[in-house]
Amino acid sequence: MAVVNMVEAIRTALAREMERDERVILLGQDIGHNGGVFRATDGLQERFGEDRVVDMPLAEAVIVGSAVGLAASGLIPIPELQFLGFGSQAFHQIEGQVARMRFRSQGRYAMPMVIRAPFGGNVRTPELHSDAHEVKYVNSPGLKVAMPASAYDARGLLTEAIRDPDPVLFCEPLRGYRLIKDEVPDEDYTVPFGEARLARDGTDVALIAWSAAVSVALKAAELAAADGISCAVLDLRTLVPLDVTGLAELVARTGRAVVVHEAPLTGGFGAEVVATIQEEAFWSLEAPIGRVAAYDTPYPIASIEEHYIPSAERVLEAVRRVAREA
Amino acid sequence: VVSVTTIEQAGLEPLTRLRPDGTLEDCYEPTLPEAELLAAFRLMLLTRAFDERAFSLQRQGRLGTFSPVTGQEASVVGSAWALDPARDWVVPQYRELPAMLRQGHSLDKVLLYFMGNPVGNRMDEGVNVLPVQISLAAQVPHAVGLAWGLRHQGRDGCVITYFGDGASSEGDVHEAMNLAGVRGAPVIFFLQNNGWAISTPVRKQTATPSFALRAAGYGFPGELVDGNDLLAVHEVTQRAVRRARAGEGPTMIESRTYRLGPHNTADDPTRYVDPDELNARRELDPIRRVRAYLRGRGLLDEEAEQRIETELREEVERAVRAAEAFAPAHSGQIFEHVYGRPPARVESQRRSVEGR
Contacts of A112 in chain B (CB under 8 A): 340
Residues A211-239: what's their mean pLDDT? 98
Answer yes or no: pTM beyond 0.90.
yes
pLDDT for the residue B286: 98
* Residue B336 Cα, gap to closest chain A Cα (Å): 7
pLDDT for A326 beyond 70: no
Does B340 sit within 8 Å of A102, measured CB to CB?
Answer: yes
| Chain B residues with CB within 8 Å of chain A CB | 91, 118-119, 121-123, 125, 130-131, 135, 138, 140-150, 152-153, 155, 159, 171-172, 175-176, 178-179, 182, 336-341, 343-346
For A96, nearest residue in chain B (alpha carbons): B135
A291's enclosing H/E stretch is strand A290-294
Query: What are the backbone angles phi and psi of residue A230, rounded to the nearest 5°?
Result: -95, 115
In terms of Cα–Cα distance, which of B101, B232, B76 is closest to B163? B76
In terms of Cα–Cα distance, which of B192, B244, B294 is closest to B82? B244
Q: Which pLDDT tens digit goes with each residue over B17-72? A: 999 999 999 999 999 999 999 999 999 999 999 999 999 999 999 999 999 999 99
* Residue B211 Cα, gap to closest chain A Cα (Å): 20
Does A59 sit within 8 Å of B179, measured CB to CB?
Answer: yes
Q: Which of B28, B152, B155, B272 is catalytic?
A: B272
SS3 B58: helix
Paired residues of B24 in beta bridges: B18
Contacts of B155 in chain A (CB under 8 A): 73
For A100, nearest residue in chain B (alpha carbons): B338
CA distance B232 to A234: 65
pLDDT range class, residue B11, cuts 50, 70, 90: confident
CA distance B251 to A239: 42
pLDDT for A70 beyond 70: yes
* Beta strands A257-264; A205-209: pairing state: parallel
Residues 6+ apart with CB under 8 A from B11: none
Question: Count H helices, E strands: chain B?
Answer: 12, 7
Q: Which of B102, B243, B263, B289 is catalytic?
A: B263
pLDDT for A280 beyond 90: yes
* Residue B345 Cα, gap to closest chain A Cα (Å): 7
A29's enclosing H/E stretch is none
How far from B294 is each of A244, A307, B146, B286, B302, CA to CA, in Å?
A: 68, 78, 37, 13, 11
Contacts of B345 in chain A (CB under 8 A): 241-242, 244
Determine which of A55, A62, A108 to mutate to test the interface with B (most B C-beta atoms within 10 Å). Answer: A62
Q: Which of B259, B289, B291, B293 is catalytic?
A: B259
Residues A37-64: what's their mean pLDDT? 97
CA distance A164 to A161: 5
Q: Which pLDDT tens digit goes with each residue over A148-159? A: 999 999 999 999
Paired residues of A181 in beta bridges: A5
Contacts of B343 in chain A (CB under 8 A): 144, 193-194, 240-242
- The CA-CA-CA angle for residues B196, B202, B208, to 5°, reads 155
SS3 A209: strand
CA distance A212 to A297: 20
Does A105 sit within 8 Å of B121, measured CB to CB?
Answer: yes
B334 versus B4: which is more confidently predicted? B334
Residues A262-291: what's their mean pLDDT? 98
In terms of Cα–Cα distance, which of A63, A58, A55, A61 is closest to A36? A55
Does B146 sit within 8 Å of A70, measured CB to CB?
Answer: yes
Mean pLDDT (chain B) is 96
Paired residues of A27 in beta bridges: A54, A79
For B157, nearest residue in chain A (alpha carbons): A73
pLDDT range class, residue B9, cuts 50, 70, 90: confident
Query: What are the backbone angles phi and psi of residue A116, rounded to the nearest 5°?
Result: -90, 140
CA distance A118 to A136: 15
CA distance B100 to B90: 7
Query: What are the backbone angles phi and psi of residue A108, rounded to the nearest 5°?
Result: -70, -45
Handedness of CA B86, B221, B161, A54 (dihedral sign): positive
The alpha carbon of B98 is separated from its chain's Cα centroid by a whole number of angstroms, namely 7
Mean pLDDT (chain A) is 97
DSSP sequence for B149-200: HHHHTT----EEEEEETTGGGSHHHHHHHHHHHHHT--EEEEEEE-SEETTE
For A57, nearest residue in chain B (alpha carbons): B179
How far from A163 is each of A68, A149, A319, CA to CA, in Å?
A: 17, 20, 38
A116's enclosing H/E stretch is strand A114-119
Contacts of B337 in chain A (CB under 8 A): 102-103, 105-107
Question: Count H helices, E strands: chain A?
Answer: 12, 14
Q: Which pLDDT tens digit goes with each residue over B58-82? A: 999 999 999 999 999 999 999 999 9
Residues making up chain A, counted from first to last:
326
The answer to whether B349 and B335 have CB atoms below 8 angstroms apart is yes
Does A165 sit within 8 Å of B175, measured CB to CB?
Answer: no
For A143, nearest residue in chain B (alpha carbons): B339
Contacts of B140 in chain A (CB under 8 A): 65
CA distance A143 to A113: 10
Residues making up chain B, counted from first to last:
356
Choose the closest CB to B138 out of A96, A166, A194: A96
Paired residues of B161 in beta bridges: B91, B189
How far from B309 is each of A166, B36, B69, CA to CA, in Å?
A: 46, 18, 17
Contacts of B121 in chain A (CB under 8 A): 104-106
DSSP conformational letter for A151: H
* Residue A221 Cα, gap to closest chain B Cα (Å): 30
* Residue B141 Cα, gap to closest chain A Cα (Å): 5
SS3 A171: strand
Question: How crowded is residue A294: how many other Cβ atoms within 10 Å of its Cβ?
Answer: 22
pLDDT range class, residue A225, cuts 50, 70, 90: very high
Q: Check if A129 is active-site.
A: yes
Does A107 sit within 8 Å of B344, measured CB to CB?
Answer: no
In terms of Cα–Cα distance, which of B121, B281, B264 is closest to A109? B121
Handedness of CA A201, A206, A208, A212 (dihedral sign): negative
